[in-house]
Amino acid sequence: MGSVERLDGGPRSAIVVGAGIVGLSTAWFLQERGVDVTVLDRTGVAAGASWGNAGWIAPALTLPLNSPAVVRYGLRALLDSTAPLHIPLTADSALGVFLMQFVANCRRSSWNRAVRANVPLNDESLEAFDVLLANGVEAPVTDAPITALFRNTEAAERMMHELHSFETAGQTTSVTALAGEALREQVPLASPAITAALSVNGQRFIDPGRFVHALGRAVVDRGATICLLEVSNVQSSGSGVTVYPRSGKPLTADTAVIATGAWLSRLAGSQVRVPVQAGRGYSFTVPVDRPIPGPIYLPDVRVACTPYQGALRVSGTMEFRDPYEPAIPARVDAIVSSAKPLLEGVRWADRDDIWVGPRPITPDGRSLIGEVSRGVYVAGGHGMWGLAHGPVTGRLLAEYITTGKQPEALREFDPLRRTGR
């Protein structure tokens, strides 16, 4: 099982609710510290946002959603169902409350705070993946720059300004401007409409479903059990915790972690003040005429493209809808319409593997990671960056759980804070 670091008196057993990248990473690092783990999930490993996302491990691009520009953009999106950010006019009361809190946090000070909070996670994110890869998680991880494409240099300069704000907060970035032959060599799919590009260096990408399933197998190989079980409640009880399934007998352990992604508020909502809302994203796969060496970002239309099984996975949109609602074909059509003029050699009509999944969004741009009641912890609300921050979250939370000492990197993610505080 690896080196056992559990302190005397620390938990010997844990139940992790959620088998996505965050939950399984927490399970793995708890095992590394000598804790026996059981993982519960309603539908199985990588069944939520961990499967169909863009697969970017991109610490240099973990920009929070709650920027001041989003408010102006969001108001326009209310009238345009094809906009990359879409808020339906039929929003329920819970979504309405969330959106009011979100708008209140779309100010520069709140955005800067979220950026600064993410820096320690970004600094350790690649190392946390390396630890998993070196110790039994068998899945390919590819080092590659992420290349952002633009119609003009003015748009590229705007993104550079945003990345400079990131650097001011302490985030290390390495960006190379590209044009002409260098641009076409790095991104052979770029259409003639593209005249400028930024290469964000030192990033990685993976097949997220394959990686998370490999992580699940590693957790099982190290002695854990993964059970299909829907949980209705998690409570502190006696000297440990009790987990109540929808049907069947309660389960007990020394500690429990709720890592249910966009469903976190439904299970832990009575214990946390910061709501988590589903920001649904779409993806699909299309064949391409030329090989793609690395990920492509289209900032103007908010579309991410990633090499995937010899083809191209195209990901985009942010729509605030119930996570259980089916995919809306018009949203996929909108992604195609916006990206098609910017890329050539892509067989858009042959798209398949269409997916929609809910990303867990908080109104103040900061995740919820920590203890909410004695022995009960939460880990979620990572927004679009759950894949990049999943392993480092698991590593830091396992340290917190087994030592009782909150790592400094988690202080800004206190799940008992009020929104924006």
**Tens digit of each residue's pLDDT (9 = 90 or more) over 173-211:** 999 999 999 999 999 999 999 999 999 999 999 999 999
Is residue 183 included in any domain, yes or no?
yes
Is residue 1 included in any domain, yes or no?
no
Is residue 203 included in any domain, yes or no?
yes
pLDDT reported for residue 92? 72
Looking at residue 142, which CATH number applies to its domain?
Answer: 3.50.50.60
pLDDT reported for residue 231? 97
Nearest-5° Cα angle at 263, 213 to 304: 60
Residues 6+ apart with CB under 8 A from 392: 121, 124, 125, 127, 128
Cβ atoms within 10 A of the Cβ of 100, count? 12
Q: Which of 106, 100, 160, 81 is nearest to 365 (CA)?
A: 106
Q: Which residues of the chain are modeled with pLDDT < 50?
A: 1-7
Spatial distance between the Cα atoms of 243 and 27, rounded to a whole number of angstroms: 16
Count of domains forming the chain: 1
Instruction: Give the tokens for residue 322.
Output: 């119930």
| Domain, as residue range, for 141 | 13-413
Instruction: Give the tokens for residue 133.
Output: 């890869």
Q: Which of 354, 336, 389 is nearest to 280 (CA)?
A: 354
pLDDT reported for residue 238? 81
Distances, alpha carbon 35 to alpha carbons 4, 38, 214, 225, 380, in Å: 8, 10, 20, 13, 21
pLDDT reported for residue 309? 92
Instruction: Give the tokens for residue 281.
Output: 């994203």
pLDDT reported for residue 7? 47
pLDDT reported for residue 3? 37
- Per DSSP bridges, beta strands 240-245 and 231-237 are antiparallel
Query: Residues 262, 31: contact at Cβ < 8 Å?
Result: no
Is residue 371 included in any domain, yes or no?
yes
